[in-house]
Chains A and B, each alone.
Chain A
Amino acid sequence: MHPALSIVFFTTASGAGFGLLLLIGLGVPLGLLPPDPLFGFTALLFAFVLSAGGLASSALHLGRPERAWRAFSQWRSSWLSREGVLSVATFFPAAVFAIGWLLFGATSGIVGLCGILAAILAAGTVYCTGMIYASLKPIHQWHNRWVVPNYLALALMSGLLLLDLVLNLWVFWPVSAEILTLLAILVAWCLKEAYWRFIDTTSAPSSVASATGLGARGRVRMLEPPHTEENFLLKEMGFRIARKHRVRLRLIARIVGFLAPGFLSLIAVIASPGLGTIAAALAVISAGLGVVIERWLFFAEAKHRVTLYYGAEVV
């Protein structure tokens, strides 16, 4: 599948933003995070800018962005529509939570409930993002049980890294959060490895023979494509990545996306607050880059069944 940068950026940024919103929406009303308004302002700013920025970026991918509002209508059947509805719905309780907390200093009662509601909706939005891909039967590398857990784990990991940074910025000693972050990095990494192992060892149960209904005489293979130039299908779904690039990019994703943020988070635990903040900031930047590479690979490594009609033997 063609890795459109607007979608790669959108899923990475909104995943991190909604992940952070999930953590503060739950953590503050439950008293696990400090009710300090400066901390709250910074954390909510990060969460809003990333989630809303990501959604705006996704509109760039549309052929007719001015009609994007129409995408809220088909929530009964479409995961994309559900994602749109939930993402917008998240902002209403999140706004009440933000105003109540930052302007009136309230983190319990209605404000707290709105925080928890925003957290649930944020998690639901990320779940829908994963389901958009996991529901697409023609793509074996997406239509499997590893995709949604990967999206959720990476959103949680990115959110926790952002939370650590904000906690560090306002000189809170986030040891328990840092330990949780290390755990989240480990879980996200394991899930990514499991996903990669799955797509490396399995392929779709379709073939050129099943795609054409031929095969009574023996092996079926393409003789001629329909035309000598590319077409929309090949531009959109015929993207192929060389094996050596794939191996190298996975290595970079492992180092930049998981290993470095884990190491930097460990430094943030043991270092002085000033150094800890720098380490936490570097961890966020590194993980952001790592997830972008991971997300790019998620598209580039996905093989659509339509390529069976264009010479692909295995999808």
Chain B
Amino acid sequence: MTDLPAVQPGQKKLGLVIDLDLCVGCHGCATACKEWNTGGHMAPLTDFNAYGDGAWGVWFNRIHSFEEGDGADARTVHFPKSCLHCEEPACVSVCPTGASYKRAEDGIVLVNESLCIGCKLCSWACPYGAREFDADAGVMKKCTLCIDRIYNENLAPEDRQPACVIVCPTKARFFGDLGDPNSAVSELVAARGGKDLMPELGYRPTNKYLPPRRAKPVAVPVLAPAAACATGGADDGGNALLRWVDRLLSR
């Protein structure tokens, strides 16, 4: 049934914490996700016109880039986004077949592909764009939180993490139990003021985003205007030499 599992106190809620202060927008997590998952639980992640115009396909993770603020305080924020494994996932409750479900044991939202009729209603119900229709298979696919890695006893314990977390070169992604207030990820969220995306909709996402830190104001040394140096008359020999070389080369 697409009814949501009853929430118990201290329920395990596996999810990701993404540090927007550290992400450099390298798209490594998206690539690692595609690489692992195209052979994983929801395989394949079909591509169309992969090598030509109009290339498109199934991705579970995408990196958006935003600008925040104006002037000297402004900054570029790279923003990876995958399924947030919400506590109130409307994508699950709208599913007419029961293909979409939220696991009671760890909160992961999954699709049973053999039940999916491809009506796409779940993709309409998700404000975050986490659902990906595979037009070739005719079914909906989505991020599995690498369920085939995190519980995989064939992998070394340190590798039992989502592919996107392992690959991140700046260690901007963290995986853990957000239902446990004492877990490393929960403490990180508390310390950095981790944010929910679109909290106004009430989906209560599990994944949290750590906003970029505010830099301490630094006294910036005021430099002499470059033009004054270039046109200065009584300069040192170095500049005179450069001007002579410039004139010579400009002939």
Contact = CB atoms under 8 A, between A and B. Distances in A.
B124 A136 contact: yes
B40 interface: no
B64 A63 contact: no
B130 to A, nearest CB: 9
A138 B135 CA distance: 23
A63 B129 contact: no
B93 A78 contact: yes
A216 B21 CA distance: 13
B127 A306 contact: yes
B195 to A, nearest CB: 3
B124 A305 contact: no
| B: contact size bracket | 35 or more
Contact of A63 (B3, B137, B199): B137
B94 A135 contact: yes
Contacts of A230: 54, 56
A104 interface: no
Interface in A202-240: 205-206, 208, 210-227, 229-233, 235-237
Given A71-B119, A236-B123, A77 B197 contact: no
Contacts of A62: 117-119, 138
Contact of A214 (B68, B97, B116): B68
Nearest to A80: B96
Contacts of B2: 74, 76-78
Contacts of B92: 77
B151 to A, nearest CB: 27
A65 interface: yes
Contacts of A293: none
A221 B119 CA distance: 32
Contact of B79 (A74, A79, A212, A221): A212
A138 B79 contact: no
B58 A232 contact: yes
B96 A219 contact: no
Contacts of B63: 226
B63 to A, nearest CB: 5
B23 interface: no
A304 interface: yes
B1 A76 contact: yes
Given A208-B66, A309-B64, A70 B117 contact: yes
A233 B142 CA distance: 12
Interface in A27-81: 61-65, 67-68, 70-74, 76-81
Nearest to B209: A213
B12 interface: no
B103 to A, nearest CB: 16
Contacts of B95: 74, 77-78
Contacts of A306: 126-129
A310 to B, nearest CB: 8
Interface stretch (B69-77, B168-176, B219-227): B69-77
A64 B132 contact: no
A1 interface: yes
Contacts of B197: 210-213
A227 B54 CA distance: 11
Interface in B203-251: 203, 209, 211-212, 214
Interface centre among B69, B73, B132 (most CB of A within 10 A): B69
Contacts of A215: 68
A84 to B, nearest CB: 6
B165 interface: no
A148 interface: no
Given A211-B198, A230-B54, A217 B66 contact: no
A236 B139 CA distance: 14
A212 B125 contact: no
B153 interface: no
Nearest to A208: B66
A204 B86 CA distance: 20
A80 B67 contact: no
B211 A213 contact: yes
Enumerate the 8 nearest inter-chain pairs by beta-carbon distance, A residue then B residue, closest first: A63-B118, A217-B69, A63-B138, A213-B195, A218-B69, A138-B127, A226-B62, A81-B96
Interface of B: 1-3, 20, 30, 54-59, 62-70, 73-77, 79, 81, 90, 92-99, 115-121, 123-129, 132-135, 137-140, 195-203, 209, 211-212, 214
11 contacts: A63-B140, A64-B139, A73-B98, A77-B93, A78-B94, A214-B20, A216-B211, A217-B214, A218-B74, A223-B76, A309-B129
Given A219-B68, A223-B67, A237-B124, 12 more contacts: A64-B116, A64-B117, A70-B96, A71-B96, A71-B117, A81-B96, A138-B201, A217-B68, A224-B65, A226-B59, A232-B56, A237-B129
